[in-house]
Structure 1
């Protein structure tokens, strides 16, 4: 469920969900966003 919500968030830039799900999704998406800021081969493979 988190991966589907993360994909929707990245594609549409906004989703509607509950507060509890949003808090869990934030823990899931924040590391991906931080890794994607580095444009290296390693960061692309990790994400």
Structure 2
């Protein structure tokens, strides 16, 4: 039987840990072709 802690975490949404500003800057970098989506996600700390 799974532990109670495991049951509490199942289905829980992840909390947003990045700022809107960081996301906007990452989008600008990707759209301009200066970096890839993966590079921008790593550099600005936003999801891919």
Q: Which protein has the larger Cα radius of gyration, Structure 1 or Structure 2?
A: 2
TM-score strictly above 0.5: no
